[in-house]
Amino acid sequence: MKFKLVILIVSLLLVMVPTVVYAADYYHNTVGDTSLADEAPYYGNWWWGHRSSNRIVWEIHDYWSQDNANRLRNGQYRMEVEAYKYRPWWQGGSLYCDQLNVASVHTFELPVTHYSVLNECGQSDKKELILLHLNESSIQGWRWYRHYHYFSKVTAPSGGEVNYSFSYDPGNDLWLGKIYYNSSFNATSSDRVGLLNLY
């Protein structure tokens, strides 16, 4: 009888413990070089927040299906963390340049061989682009890979956006999603809508 009572109490406690659910969503995988969709991460979960009066952190969690992880060929894949909106020169060039400047890169759980921090647009001393060169043989399906990056706030007169892409070098990007932020660098929404969590 005592044993059954203990089992009942434990069961009730487990039911009563609140479950924390965080936003996640499928990546777009339909804009840009769609031939990469079969190798790209399948699902994403992002976090955005202020780490100090002049720092933003963007934490990214990527999830590959087993099939997509198996299709990765060694040596050429990159994740691209873009603190601007790309536009080709014939459309007037990229937007939201010089608003965020890469302060530090933390690859954490994401298997990479190396990374690069580059100026993509605007003033040459502002670095808006992080290229994470993947160690493809270490990526497994059915698990999350977390990495996070700090950006210094420069100026955002009317807000802006950051974008995330997957690419095969040489080649084009496959766009995965974006975050919109306001003039205070507070994230206002994401595309896809389910990707964004706030610290």
Q: Per-domain residue ranges for the chain?
A: 25-198
In one-letter notation, the amino acid at residue 170 is: P
Q: What is the pLDDT of residues 27-37, one digit of tens each?
A: 998 899 999 99
Spatial distance between the Cα atoms of 126 and 142, rounded to a whole number of angstroms: 36
- Judge contact between 25 and 43, C-beta under 8 A: yes
Say if pTM beats, i.e. exceeds, 0.85. yes
CATH of region 25-198: 2.60.40.1170
Q: Provide DSSP, 92-114.
A: T--BSTTSEEEEEEE-TTS-EEE
CA 14-16-18 angle, to 5 degrees, is 95
| Average pLDDT value for residue range 160-185 | 94
* pLDDT digit string, tens, across residues 7-32: 434 343 333 334 344 778 999 988 99
At residue 38, the 3 state secondary structure works out as coil
Q: What's the pLDDT at 194?
A: 94
**Size of the chain in residues:** 199
